[in-house]
Amino acid sequence: MDAQLLTYIFVGVTFTLYIGIAIWSRAGSTDDFYVAGGGVPPLANGMATAADWMSAASYISMAGIISFVGQDGAVYLMGWTGGYVLLALLLAPYLRKFGKYTVPDFVGDRYYSDLARLVAAICVIFISFTYVAGQMRGVGIVFSRFLQVDINTGVVIGMAVVFIYAVLGGMKGITYTQVAQYCVLIFAFMVPAIFISLLMTDNPIPQLGFGSTMSDGSGVYLLDKLDGLSEQLGFNTYTEGNKSTIDVFFITAALMVGTAGLPHVIVRFFTVPKVRDARISAGYALCFIAILYTTAPAVAAFARVNLINTVSNASYAETPEWFKNWEDSGLIAWNDKNGDGKIQYTAGKSFTGKPSFAEARGSNGERLLTNAPTDNTNELYIDRDIMVLANPEIAKLPNWVIALVAAGGLAAALSTAAGLLLVISTSISHDLLKKVFMPEINDKQELMFARLAAAAAIGVAGWFGINPPGFVAQVVAFAFGLAAASFFPVILMGIFYKRMNREGAIAGMLTGLIFTFSYIVYFKFISPELNNAEHWWFGVSPEGIGTLGMIFNFIVSYVVSMVTAPPPQDVQDMVDDIRIPQGAGASYHHHLSH
């Protein structure tokens, strides 16, 4: 069977499974809708957390970025994995013991203020929309290539599927759907990685193949081969970083701390019966996440070597079938500038914005770019987000592996999109309407508003997917920077510093969010020509500026809380209670009953 028919079958079967699970486990109450009734076993919650956590950025984009930037891409691996450990050990068990559904709920009660709750809810909605934009673009990319539809149509199909199981099932439906999605995405990521590792290095374990010699009998190590190829084409040495140490530190810290403030991951710890289960499920999730994260650098290196070997200096007639297939999705293109009929893939200026294509093809039948830099010897445009998805085709793997990778990419994007959309709908229905603007609504009305909010959020997310502000992983990195600058300090100080008060929390959150957002917008959208180390503050790029925003947040929070009145005694007692291990279950039910 051809790859397209197999893809239809794989995607159809997995979508049927997800929707079937959502109908079977649909939410009947707000408790079910928000936290799956608090009864998910730790192993299932660990899988669901891993699926929620490993988004299109992890599955599609992370290895793609590493394959282009080499060592500098390690910031994503270190930041995201380290951040998960930070969240699991430092925050999750305490928030779970506090017994609130959402981060704004914790902020509102801990800082005894509807204004603090409002600021936190706005931060959640803003961060979640930034993050979900990346997921919807991932969905569009997969559909556009494998189901031969336009990227925009792909986004709309993805929206429809998420709508069915997020709006129907709530957290209960999403949790069990995510267990299935984890199984699909990890299998889909590992199968081609093992295949390609065997083909290129004779080692079936990709993590070991990454450091092995090539199977061609040359005795050359894979990474030495890649360094040589990169240098020949004028690129930086793959195994040497280009970023300054301070920028690497700031980006890694922003991703770490941003993880620990991500609302859709934190809420997963409320779906288990006990605080102890929250810790156990965090451990499981870390193991499940590590499988993909330790494999990604190997996949990146394999894909890069194969790409250069099959495309560089080849004539269009010699280019493999996968190249022509991906051309039609608009994610790879060649412009024969010197008219020699060969693809010159060299270092040079990158393309600005989205590529735009001419209707007519070139003299060799190639897809023509109309906005390619003219003062550049590089003739090839490659979207980083295709590297993982095209990898099985580049390596000439069987068609069923190509279809499996497509289904895995959709599972990764949809699982995270669903978690984020639930967080957005919860913030609107629970934190804004129920707690601030419409306290008189009953459980049934709140559930109806949650579903309406989820439906509206899906519409906005789809618009972002059709008009994406950058590569998937870059967009997600901004969401982490914003989470780091706004949430992390107020959650951490809320748990560990009794003197922290309402005024400090609000001032800190606003300072961190406004500073980080302004910096990113200035360098990325207002003055992109100044977006280089010469003009950055302290040499820190927009991707890492969330760390500086977080430091400002901590300073402002502390100073403001010291010069204003301390929090009421009952709030200080509550902070003591959160940190005492005994009676966790009783505390949870006591808080829920209120």
Distance CA 368, CA 362 (A): 6
Instruction: Tell me the per-residue pLDDT of 6-46, one tens digit each, with 9 for 90 and over.
Output: 888 988 888 888 778 777 766 566 666 665 556 678 888 88
* 282 burial level (CB within 10 Å; 0-12, 13-18, 19+): buried
Instruction: Give, for all 594 residues of the chain, the pLDDT tens digit.
Output: 787 888 889 888 888 887 787 777 665 666 666 655 566 788 888 888 888 777 777 888 788 888 888 888 888 888 888 888 887 777 777 877 777 667 788 888 888 888 888 878 887 777 777 777 777 777 777 777 777 777 778 888 878 877 776 666 666 667 778 888 888 889 889 999 999 999 899 999 999 988 898 888 888 898 888 888 888 877 778 888 778 889 889 989 988 888 776 667 777 777 777 777 877 888 888 899 889 899 999 999 998 888 888 887 778 777 777 887 777 766 787 777 777 778 777 776 555 445 555 555 555 556 555 555 555 567 777 877 788 888 888 888 888 888 888 888 888 877 777 777 777 887 788 778 887 788 888 878 887 888 888 888 888 878 877 776 555 556 666 777 888 898 889 888 988 888 899 899 989 988 998 999 899 888 877 887 888 878 888 888 888 899 999 999 999 999 999 999 999 998 888 888 877 754 444 444 444 444
With tokens 């993805």, the residue in question is 158
Cα separations (Å) of 305 from 131, 208, 394, 397? 30, 17, 10, 16
Q: Residue 367 pairs with which residues in a beta bridge?
A: 361
Nearest partner of 574 among 491, 489, 490, 495, judged by Cα? 495
Residues in the chain: 594
| Reported pTM | 0.80
**406 CB neighbour count, 10 Å cutoff:** 26
Instruction: Tell me the per-residue pLDDT of 55-71, one tens digit each, with 9 for 90 and over.
Output: 777 888 788 888 888 88
User: Which residues make Cβ contacts (< 8 Å) with residue 170, sequence separation at least 6?
Assistant: 26, 27, 32, 33, 34, 36, 422, 450
